[in-house]
């Protein structure tokens, strides 16, 4: 098995990188069978996006804090662990953002795409689903679209629902909604196309982030699932992402 190791800049991850690359050899990513990500969930997201070009799976080893997308650091044979690992196939979501000055930018997100207010002024936006306006005006700090893989991250912190892996659903979740006061978000079919239009962008500017990429001063954003891309996360047998998302719903 040819492995390409990718380490975050955390000291623990760099130490593990040296140990594992010495033991199993470091291979060029274009020749590798698998990427082993060393670090936290941020490192995993970076490696997953890099894996798209090479169409290879990613096995993560946690050297951070939460590491929801990672496996434990165990003193066992790594090649055997990867060979026995379970695969969690996921699709990213695509953001097409238009700025107030007319410039556009696209980006993929594995966890979520989030619109956030840039100033002290509350964000005002209009939400359209599949060319039908569903919410004329949402007054809030922001709003996000989360994938099943990302539903336990920022989405959960904003009181959004946890989505089981494999469910063809996306979560549309408001961040600190003020009006409509009782609106808590929506679960949408993964085939949905969502348009979020910024109302009064000059007076109430908003930014949008696709995982860790930020675009400021936006006018509107279109979001849809990218079904042509399938990312493959590898997890130790008995500790799959699907099982973790179920267990997360029973935590106090």
Q: Tell me the catalytic residues.
A: 41
Rg for the chain (alpha carbons), in Å? Answer: 19
Q: Which among 221, 223, 238 is positioned nearest to 150, based on CA atoms?
A: 223
Distance of CA 183 to the CA centre of its chain: 23
For residues 183 and 124, what is the distance between their CA atoms, to the nearest angstrom? Answer: 14
For 102-136, b/e burial (b = at least 16 CB within 10 A) is: eeeeebbbbbbbbbbbeeeebbbbbbbbeeeeebe
Backbone angles phi, psi at 74, to 5 degrees: -120, 145
**Alpha-carbon distances, residue 202 vs 174, 185, 248 (angstroms):** 21, 26, 40
H or E segment to which residue 32 belongs: none
The phi-psi region of residue 43 (left if phi > 0; otherwise alpha if psi is between -120 and 50; otherwise beta) is: alpha
């Amino acid at each position: 098995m040819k492995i390409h190791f990718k380490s975050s800049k955390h000291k623990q991850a760099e130490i593990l990188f040296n140990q594992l690359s010495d033991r199993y050899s470091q291979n060029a990513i274009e020749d590798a069978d698998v990427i082993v990500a060393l670090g936290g969930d941020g490192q995993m997201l970076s490696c997953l996006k890099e894996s798209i070009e090479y169409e290879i799976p990613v096995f993560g080893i946690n050297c951070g804090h939460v590491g929801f997308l990672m496996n434990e650091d165990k003193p066992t044979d790594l090649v055997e662990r990867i060979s026995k690992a379970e695969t969690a196939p996921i699709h990213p979501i695509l953001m097409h953002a238009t700025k107030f000055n007319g410039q556009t930018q696209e980006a993929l997100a594995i966890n979520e795409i989030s619109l956030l207010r840039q100033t002290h002024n509350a964000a005002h936006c209009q939400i359209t689903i599949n060319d039908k306006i569903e919410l004329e005006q949402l007054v809030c700090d922001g709003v996000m679209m989360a994938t099943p893989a990302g539903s336990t991250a920022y989405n959960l912190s904003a009181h959004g629902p946890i989505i089981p892996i494999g469910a063809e659903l996306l979560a549309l979740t408001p961040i600190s909604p003020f009006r409509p006061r009782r609106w808590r978000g929506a679960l949408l079919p993964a085939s949905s196309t969502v348009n979020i239009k910024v109302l009064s962008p000059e007076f109430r500017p908003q930014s949008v982030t696709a995982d860790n990429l930020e675009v400021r001063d936006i006018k509107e954003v279109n979001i849809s699932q990218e079904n042509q891309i399938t990312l493959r996360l590898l997890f130790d047998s008995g500790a799959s992402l699907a099982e973790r998302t179920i267990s997360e719903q029973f935590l106090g």
